[in-house]
Structure 1
Amino acid sequence: MKTKRYVNDENFIAGMTMKDETELENNNMALHACENPENIIINRKKLATSLQCDLASFVCANQTHSANFHKVTLSDIGRGSEQLETAIQDTDALYTYEPNIVLCSFTADCVPIIFHNEKTGLIGVIHSGWGGTVKEITTKLFKHLKQVEQCDPKEFSVQIGAALSQEKFEVDEDVYLKFKDLGYADEFMYFNDKTNKYHIDNQLTVKKQLELTGIPVDQITIDRTCTYKDPNGFSYREDRQCGRHLSFIMRKS
């Protein structure tokens, strides 16, 4: 099973599953975009085994490109792990202080954000497609963590996972204007005269949002793998029937 491991130390393990032609449905991890749910359960169980935990430890959300987030508690363990119906509804970011829970986020071009706080043990995942980015889901979640959870932004380490590259993320003026209205994304966009399309770097826009919330730039890492161009990537732009990557993080007890 192809998996990127972004963090793997005595306290945290985090990473992102990749497309793998040797696995069922190319290692698709999404129940909402699959041929056979049983295949997805098998793939997820393999991931759980590699993380030395059970699939019942996974927590998944029903992502809707919202700016909604959810604090995961012990009562949420297992939600969405084997059935779509039990997933946390209308939510695109999860965080928790609880150990031995695997927080999950699903993407196929959208930007996955995985983060942890070494001092408090808080972990989280964010799904930020262009809709989530212009709604500033990342900004809103970290403001909440500062104000409600009393977190210090300087204590976070953040990984931005593989996503659609600027070259392949071309949009019309309506989307461009939404990014322009943010007021800080101009340097991450350009216009292609030949195609009359705008190209946006969603990863760098998210990185800017993280910086603006006070996270030190040297504590933000970006995986610049393009999910469209890389053969190990699932790309919705390339194939509307594609599977999904699963970005994950767990704090070890």
Structure 2
Amino acid sequence: MEPFQHREDSGIPYFSLTLWEREFPHLIAGMSARDRESIQHPNQSNYAWTRSGSGNGVIANRRRLVETLGVPLSSWTCGNQVHGTVIREVDADARGRGHQSRDTAFPETDGLLTREEDVLLTSFYADCVPLFFYSPDMDMIGVAHAGWRGTVGGIGPKMVREFVRRGADRKRIRAVIAPSIGACCYEVDAKVADPLCNILPEADRTVLKSVAEGRWKLDLKEANRRLLRGEGLLEEHLSVTHWCTSCHPDLFHSHRRDQGRTGRMVAFIGKRKG
């Protein structure tokens, strides 16, 4: 079952994580999408301060998205991503870090979790894998940025352990692997393949497909699914999207497809006030 549904509310395109929103109505979760204009002008649907985006445009885009979602911009909370595995807990005092300035975001942070209401955890993408987490027993939410380095570093399993350390039941934790580049479009060399084989001994048979000498097609979503299963998440609590960001220029930014001349999508998850 595809966990995401493409929507366009008030002219703002995004993917809602309907699999969770239907079961847990107090959750707001999903990922932004491109609009038609952003195919030629990436700033139109860019949500992060990158080489392709200006500060004013980013804030305006964020404001339009949160208005569509029905949450205040001041709830938007993010980190400065570095393809690492640092995970921060967002308490009430940290709510809104990074929503109007890169300087106020959590430094060198690729994962966020919280039990607070009215906090929108956000993370930015243009091919890397967004990982969503929810613990119904603790009502805890999380999001993690898993490029190949974060995947090799185990940011997904680390997020599970952070949930468990705070009291979550491992067997009840849900995870969703969101739109990212697929094996159809992601070719890598030994620099990427070798570390993956070190953490997934069966990687050469399950997530890597040889296409030439020293070249493989990598299924990064499947690599993260297997790592999360290895951390003890139940199969029925793991969902993986079919969407490839590189295959759909009308819907997604893709760093690889567009050779770096692109914006960034945002993955978001929050809890409405009770």
TM-score (norm 2): 0.87
Gaps of 5+ in 2: 1-11
- 1:210-236: CA deviation from partner (whole Å, max 9, x where unpaired): 111111111111112111111211111
Amino acid at match of 2:45: N
Distance (Å, rounded) in 1 between the aligned partners of 2:202 and 2:119: 35
Comparing 205-214 and 94-103, the one that deviates more: 205-214
Q: How well do the aligned residues superpose, as a CA RMSD in angstroms?
A: 1.5
State whether residues 59 and 79 of structure 1, in contact with CA within 8 Å, keep that contact through their aligned partners in structure 2.
Answer: yes
Aligned equivalent of 1:11, options 26, 32, 39: 26
Offset at residue 22 of structure 1 (A) = 4.1
Matches within 5 A, 1:83-162: 83-146=101-164, 148-162=165-179
Partner residue in 2 for 1:179? 196
Partner residue in 1 for 2:224? 206
Partner residue in 1 for 2:263? 243
Count the aligned residue pairs: 251
Comparing 101-110 and 169-178, the one that deviates more: 169-178
- 1:43-92: CA deviation from partner (whole Å, max 9, x where unpaired): 10111111211111010100000011001111111111110000000110
Partner residue in 2 for 1:2? 13
List, as ranges, runs of 4+ consecutive aligned residues in structure 1 with deviation greater than 4 Å. Answer: none
Distance (Å, rounded) in 2 between the aligned partners of 1:176 and 1:86: 35
- 1:195-220: CA deviation from partner (whole Å, max 9, x where unpaired): 74111111011011111111111111
Offset at residue 189 of structure 1 (A) = 0.6
Distance (Å, rounded) in 1 between the aligned partners of 2:73 and 2:52: 18
Matches within 5 A, 1:203-242: 203-231=221-249, 232-239=251-258, 240-242=260-262
Aligned equivalent of 1:46, options 64, 78, 92: 64
Amino acid at match of 1:8: E
TM-score (norm 1): 0.94
